[in-house]
Structure 1
Amino acid sequence: MKKVFGLLGHPIGHSMSPIMHEAAYKNMNEEATYVGFDVAPDQLEHAVKGIRSLGISGCNVTIPHKVEVMNYLDEIDEEARQIGAVNTIVNVNGYLKGFNTDGRGYIQSLLTVTESLTQKNILVIGAGGAARAVISAMAAHQPSKIVIANRTEEKAQILADMFSDVSASIQVLSILEAEKQLGDFSIIINTTSVGMSPNVADQPISLKNLAEGSVVSDLIYNPLETVLLKEAKQKKAHTLNGVGMFVQQGALSIEHWTGHFPKIEPMQEVVLSQLKKSK
Structure 2
Amino acid sequence: MPRPISKDTQLCMSLAGRPGNFGTRFHNFLYEELGLDYLYKAFTTSDLGAAIGGVRALGIRGCALSMPFKEACIGFLDELDLSAAVIESVNTIVNTDGWLRGYNTDYIAVASLLRSHAVPPASSSSFVLRGSGGMAKAVAFALRDAGFRDGVILARNQEKGEALARSCGFRWQGELGNLQPSLLINVTPIGMAGGAEADDLAFPPDVVAAAETVFDVVALPPETPLIRLAGAEGKRVITGAEVIALQAAEQFVLYTGVRPSDEQVRRAAEYASAP
Q: TM over 0.5: same fold?
A: yes
Q: 1:6 aligns with which of 6, 13, 20?
A: 13
Q: 2:34 aligns with which of 12, 15, 28?
A: 28
Structure 1 Cα separation of the partners of residues 207 and 77 of structure 2: 46
Q: 1:76 aligns with which of 71, 80, 85?
A: 80
Structure 1 Cα separation of the partners of residues 133 and 152 of structure 2: 14
Matches within 5 A, 1:90-109: 90-109=94-113
**Secondary structure in 2 matching 1:59:** strand
Q: Which residue of 2 aligns with 1:146?
A: 151
Q: 1:160 aligns with which of 160, 165, 168?
A: 165
Q: Which residue of 1 aligns with 2:251?
A: 253
Amino acid in structure 2 at the alignment position of 1:172: W
Quick one: percent identity of the two aligned structures? 27
Q: 1:240 aligns with which of 230, 238, 241?
A: 238
**Kept after mapping to 2: 8 A contact 1:7/1:35:** yes
Structure 2 Cα separation of the partners of residues 211 and 150 of structure 1: 21
Structure 1 Cα separation of the partners of residues 51 and 211 of structure 2: 47
Q: Alpha carbons of 1:209 and 1:100: their partners in 2 closer, same or farther (altered >3 Å)?
A: closer
Q: Does 1:87 align with 2:87?
A: no
**Kept after mapping to 2: 8 A contact 1:212/1:237:** no
Structure 2 Cα separation of the partners of residues 63 and 102 of structure 1: 13
Amino acid in structure 2 at the alignment position of 1:171: R
Amino acid in structure 2 at the alignment position of 1:176: L
**Gaps (5+ residues) in structure 1?**
164-168
Q: Alpha carbons of 1:115 and 1:208: their partners in 2 closer, same or farther (altered >3 Å)?
A: closer
Structure 2 Cα separation of the partners of residues 192 and 131 of structure 1: 8
Q: Does 1:171 align with 2:171?
A: yes
Q: Which residue of 1 aligns with 2:185?
A: 189
**Secondary structure in 2 matching 1:208:** helix
Structure 2 Cα separation of the partners of residues 25 and 129 of structure 1: 28
Structure 2 Cα separation of the partners of residues 142 and 11 of structure 1: 34
What's the offset of the Cα at 1:73?
Answer: 1.4
TM-score, with structure 2 as normaliser: 0.83
Q: Does 1:204 align with 2:202?
A: yes
Q: Which residue of 2 aligns with 1:17?
A: 23
**Gaps (5+ residues) in structure 2?**
1-7
- Offset from partner CA, 1:232-272 (integer Å, 9 cap, x none): 22322111221011111111112222333323444444544
**Kept after mapping to 2: 8 A contact 1:66/1:85:** yes
Q: Alpha carbons of 1:36 and 1:195: their partners in 2 closer, same or farther (altered >3 Å)?
A: closer
Q: What RMSD, in angstroms, separates the aligned Cα atoms of the two structures? A: 2.6
